[in-house]
Amino acid sequence: MGETVLMSDKKCPLSQEDLEFLQKYARKIIKRRMEAPAIVFLESMKPLNFIGSQFMIGFQPIIGAFFDTASYDRIQQILEQRESIEIFIRLIEDMVEKRDRGEEI
C-alpha cells in the first residue's frame, strides 16, 4: 500500500493519502478485471476532469441526500488536479503488471 507513482518529469501533485485512496479503487477495478474499460473511459475523460469536478460540486447536495459524501467529496477534490486521471491510469497499469508477474497488488 506504500507504493507511489513516480512522475519522471515533475513532482506528483497528489498527497500520499490521495494516492492511497486511488490505489484502493485501482485494486477494485483490477480485482474485477475491468482495467481495459476503465482505462479507455479515463483516457476519454482526461480533457474534462476539471470541468467534471466542478459539476460534482453542483450535484453534491442531490447526492448527499441519498449517499455518504465523504468519498464523493474526495474524488471531486482529486479531480481538480489536472494530472490526477493520468496518475490513476498509471496506478492501474502498474498494478496490472504486478498482477501479471504474480506479485501481490
10-residue averages of pLDDT along the chain (105 residues): 48 89 96 96 92 92 89 92 94 96 90
Q: What is the pLDDT of residue 1?
A: 42
DSSP code at position 66: T
∠ CA 39-42-45, rounded to 5° = 150
Alpha helices in the chain (DSSP H): 16-31, 35-45, 49-64, 70-79, 84-100
Q: Hey, what's the cell of 75?
A: 474524488
Q: What is the pLDDT of residue 11?
A: 73
